[in-house]
Structure 1
């Protein structure tokens, strides 16, 4: 699968299938609503803490999958399997946030959007 990281895309293998994930503007708007954030900076601050719940991770992955063109619900994501289990999902979320926002969303210093 070909992805363009400059456009914020990444590849992931879930349930033995390859997917493209991307936090598009629409996907980010979904996350703002889900996390009751007023703007992108609030999302970056929340994600930058590195303290995300399983529910947070499933919302982020579901939004990324939908942004990548896959029709999938959060409930479907919660039933998916990722190599490495919960740690694999955490790595996937960290990578998706890093390609979207830069290193800051993964807990490191970077320029905000």
Structure 2
């Protein structure tokens, strides 16, 4: 079960609930993978609405790694994610929001 106070989001992968969390290390890894130089640039990339499937995958992988699962994008290529691309994108968006907003606070 995920804890929103810790910035966690749950995602069902292959029928198993996995916890995602954007730790500082996970964010640094994500910045490097996506070629962004600041956290502000990273967040802006996702807020523009021009996010690619690779961006969503990178965010999910970073979140899963931050949540304690040592996974790569290659491990998830054939994985069944609940809700498909829409479910993955929603979970990724929620993950990014929870990394920077305290639950219950106005965004």
Please list the CA deviations of residues 7-37 of structure 1 after superposition, one character each: whole Å capped at 9, or x if unmatched.
2111111110011100100000011101111
Structure 2 Cα separation of the partners of residues 98 and 50 of structure 1: 14
| RCO comparison, higher one (Cα < 8 Å, 6+) | 2
Structure 2 Cα separation of the partners of residues 55 and 31 of structure 1: 12
RMSD: 1.5
Task: Tell me the TM-score normalized by structure 1.
Answer: 0.83
Measure how far apart 1:51 and its partner are: 1.8
Structure 1 Cα separation of the partners of residues 51 and 79 of structure 2: 18
Aligned pairs, how many?
A: 103
Structure 1 Cα separation of the partners of residues 50 and 74 of structure 2: 21
Matched, 1:68 2:72: no
Structure 2 Cα separation of the partners of residues 35 and 11 of structure 1: 23
Structure 1 Cα separation of the partners of residues 96 and 66 of structure 2: 13
Measure how far apart 1:74 and its partner are: 0.9
Measure how far apart 1:71 and its partner are: 1.1
**Structure 1 stretches of 4+ moved >4 Å:** none
Matched, 1:87 2:86: yes
Runs of 5+ in structure 2 lacking a partner?
A: none
Matched-pair contact (CA < 8 Å) for 2:26–2:62: yes
Structure 1 Cα separation of the partners of residues 10 and 82 of structure 2: 13
SS in 2 for 1:20: strand
